[in-house]
Amino acid sequence: MIKPPDASFDQIKHLVSERALSGETMLLNMGPQHPSTHGVLRLLLELDGEIIINCIPDIGFLHTGIEKNMEAKTYQKAEVMTDRLDYMYTMGNNLVYCLAVEKLTGLDVPERAEYIRVILTELSRLQSHLLWIGTSAMDLAAMSVFLYAMREREMVLDVFELVSGQRMMTTYIRPGGLWRDVPVEFEAATRNILKELPGRIKQYESLLTRNPLFRDRTRGIGIISADNCIRYGVTGPTIRGSGLAYDLRKARPYSAYSCFDFDIPTQKEGDIYARYLVRVEEMRQSLRIIEQALNDLPKGAVRSDNRKFVPPPRSELGVSMEALIHHFKLWTEGFNAPNGSVYVAVESPRGEMGVFLEGDGGPKPYRVHYRTPSFVNLQALPLMARGHFVADLVGIIGSIDIVLGDTDR
């Protein structure tokens, strides 16, 4: 028997079966440099031939200590770190952090900002699902979807670049509103996405949904029941693929989500194919939300005018002494948040992304904790993988759509 290449084998002895110790089953190391683990995930597999008996995820290769770093920065500066968590849902990371800061400080947000936040987070979900459909289809040997999906994803990233100047690390949503109003080209660019994408989604579906090879690789594989989803805290498309319509946009609406009309797609089977169908339908629902939000987009300010928390506009600095003082105080000292803790969550493309924020009355967060969906969902991977072939494991990892930046923080 080959021992795994670290000194800690004695520590993980209790996680594998007795047969592994006698050499009857094989321990195989998968990752962390394996392309189909979508990043740096290491899995220690116990195999009986090709069948997985045990699967022990080993995470932490991308741990960057973001929570510790945020404690050393003011509330505004700490936000920049949140982009780096789930790098496929940057707008949502900003949003959940800002919602927590706003709840802690009791800050109000103008309606226009709420609508733009919804549009941008839904675009974020769209691009995350586009990357997901491409990569997980590629894992199952359907190459062409990836090329198409990346082409469409570029359209969304162009919108992000338009509004924030950055394609991925946007930091566009700020406590109290947005960094600035969207440029005039924004509406046309978003409408273009709304026009193009329904046809393109149909195209992906014609490549995958009835494709017998894809169906053979996905149906009946990686099944998790709704009960187990609840026991393991699994959320997002995985729990909806198992038949439970748990979506935070409906269950605990945040921002302006209660103003829009959309459905929560669910499937009963709980296998990879069910999660695939849920995500494809979610893309359509996202388009629906974006269209409604664009149609009713209110006019007005995009930042709260509470100058104790939100810096004044540039134009006021030259003419108003108070504005200058506020600007100086906010960017040197920051604002003070009260002593207390809040928990706020949003629906990320992977599940419930929550942030626990505790203030101590000073300008820096005392403790920030991210409840990241990938971390929680990955814990249920052994449950889904047991008894399947190694080749199917690749599809199962793809179907829960982990982002390792999200897992390791």
Partner 1 sequence: MSKISNSIISQMITRFGASSAEFRDETTLIIQPDQIVEGCRYLRDIAGFNMLLDATAVDYCPATTPRFHLIYHFYSTKKNVIIALRIPLNGNEPEVQTIESVYPNANWYEREIWDLMGIHFEGHSDLRRIVLPVDWVGHPLRKDYPLGYEEVQYTFNFDDVNKRKRYPKD
Binding site for partner 1 (CB under 8 A): 6-8, 11-12, 14-15, 59-60, 63, 65, 67-69, 72, 103-104, 106, 230-233, 244, 246, 251-252, 340-343, 345, 352, 354, 356, 358, 366-367, 369, 371, 375-376, 379-380, 408-409
Q: How far apart are the C-alpha atoms of 261 and 246, rounded to whole Å?
A: 16
Q: Looking at beta carbons only, is 64 or 206 nearer to partner 1?
A: 64
Burial of 341 (0-12, 13-18, 19+ CB in 10 A): middle
Cα–Cα nearest to 168, from 157, 178, 155, 183: 157
Q: In angstroms, what is the minimal distance from the CB of 68 to partner 1?
A: 6
Alpha helices of 234-340 — where are they, by DSSP H? 237-241, 248-251, 272-295, 314-317, 321-332
Q: In angstroms, what is the minimal distance from the CB of 256 to partner 1?
A: 16
Q: Looking at beta carbons only, is 231 or 308 nearer to partner 1?
A: 231
Q: In angstroms, what is the minimal distance from the CB of 146 to partner 1?
A: 30
Our measurement of the distance from residue 138's CA atom to the centroid of its chain's CA atoms, rounded to an integer in Å, reads 20
Q: Which amino acid is at 97?
A: Y
| Angle in degrees, CA 218, 224, 225, rounded to 5 | 130
Q: In angstroms, what is the minimal distance from the CB of 225 to partner 1?
A: 14
Q: Looking at beta carbons only, is 277 or 376 nearer to partner 1?
A: 376
User: DSSP for 23-41?
Assistant: TSSEEEEE-SS-GGGSSS-
| Angle in degrees, CA 118, 111, 87, rounded to 5 | 30
CB atoms within 10 A of CB 63: 14
Helix (H, G, I), strand (E, B) or coil at 374: helix
Q: In angstroms, what is the minimal distance from the CB of 261 to partner 1?
A: 20
Q: Looking at beta carbons only, is 12 or 317 nearer to partner 1?
A: 12
Q: In angstroms, what is the minimal distance from the CB of 160 to partner 1?
A: 28
Q: How far apart are the C-alpha atoms of 371 and 345, rounded to whole Å?
A: 8
42-48/51-58 β-pairing: antiparallel
Helix (H, G, I), strand (E, B) or coil at 114: helix
Q: Looking at beta carbons only, is 312 or 359 nearer to partner 1?
A: 359
Q: In angstroms, what is the minimal distance from the CB of 94 to partner 1?
A: 19
CB atoms within 10 A of CB 22: 9
* CA distances, 347 to each of 20, 121, 122, 222, 249 (Å): 40, 10, 10, 23, 6
Asked whether 53 and 386 are in contact (CB, 8 A), the reply is yes
Q: Looking at beta carbons only, is 64 or 192 nearer to partner 1?
A: 64
Q: Looking at beta carbons only, is 63 or 288 nearer to partner 1?
A: 63
Token pair belonging to 93: 């990371």
Token pair belonging to 30: 């998968």
Q: Looking at beta carbons only, is 179 or 232 nearer to partner 1?
A: 232
**Residues across the chain:** 409
Q: In angstroms, what is the minimal distance from the CB of 174 to partner 1?
A: 20
Q: In angstroms, what is the minimal distance from the CB of 313 to partner 1?
A: 29
Q: In angstroms, what is the minimal distance from the CB of 233 to partner 1?
A: 4
Q: How far apart are the C-alpha atoms of 2 and 87, rounded to whole Å?
A: 36
Q: Looking at beta carbons only, is 67 or 139 nearer to partner 1?
A: 67
Q: Looking at beta carbons only, is 55 or 59 nearer to partner 1?
A: 59
